[in-house]
Amino acid sequence: MSASQTARILIVATDGFEQSELIGPRDAFLAAGLTVEIASIDPGDIQGMVHDKKGETVEATLAVADVEAGAYDALVLPGGVANPDTLRMNEDAVQLVGEFMAAGKPVAAICHGPWLLAEADVLRNRRVTSWPSIRTDLRNAGAEVVDEEVTIDGNLITSRKPDDVPAFSRAVIDAVASAAQKRSAA
């Protein structure tokens, strides 16, 4: 992807995100020359977690209510237990997921992140993976749940846990590059 085709990746998170699942992909996207922005319920610092201990904070520069899905090429949803549980109760976050999915843009969720996909009702007849404790919720939302490092079903990319971050990040980068190639060929 050339600099003139630099994709814009939106990461949506709030307090309680799993640090490695936001910072790892963000850093991989930046290293690949992509633009990354972080949105949360409200702009400002959000608290990361390293499992059950406080980790680093990152700055969310946007409120999800102010995000226009059309301005971005992909959506990334990190896990952590509290992060997606809080976001799935936020109408703007749920709507944003639906907008990205309806547009056919890459949507990537890792660990507990797919909880937000279930809330947005975008999992029917989709193949996904996640952290084991939410797999029943995903099945109840109509998904076929598998246990794989990375599962790709059309524009939907999911992974299970922090150990999967490198493969997850590569899958997102590849999906964005593929989408850019299709746009330039059209």
Compute the distance between CA of residue 72 and CA of residue 56 in angstroms, rounded to an integer.
25
Closest-CA residue to 24 (of 149, 178, 170, 142): 170
Q: Which of 26, 105, 112, 161 is catalytic?
A: 112
Closest-CA residue to 30 (of 54, 2, 7): 7
Give the pLDDT confidence score for residue 179 in this predicted structure. 85
For residue 44, is pLDDT > 70? yes
51 is catalytic: no
Give the pLDDT confidence score for residue 79 in this predicted structure. 97
For residue 181, is pLDDT > 90? no
Give the pLDDT confidence score for residue 4 in this predicted structure. 40
The matching CATH number, chosen from 3.40.50.2000, 3.20.20.70, 2.40.110.10, 3.40.50.880, for 3-181 is 3.40.50.880
**High-pLDDT (> 90) share of the chain, %:** 92
Give the pLDDT confidence score for residue 175 in this predicted structure. 97
Q: What is the pLDDT of residues 83-122, one digit of tens each?
A: 999 999 999 999 999 999 999 999 999 999 999 999 999 9
For residue 167, is pLDDT > 50? yes
For residue 127, is pLDDT > 50? yes
Compute the distance between CA of residue 115 and CA of residue 12 in angstroms, rounded to an integer.
13
For residue 186, is pLDDT > 90? no
Confirm whether pTM is higher than 0.75: yes
Confidence band of 5 (pLDDT split at 50, 70, 90): low
* Residue 148 to residues 39, 71, 155, Cα–Cα distance (Å): 28, 31, 17
Give the pLDDT confidence score for residue 184 in this predicted structure. 75
Average pLDDT over residues 43-47: 98
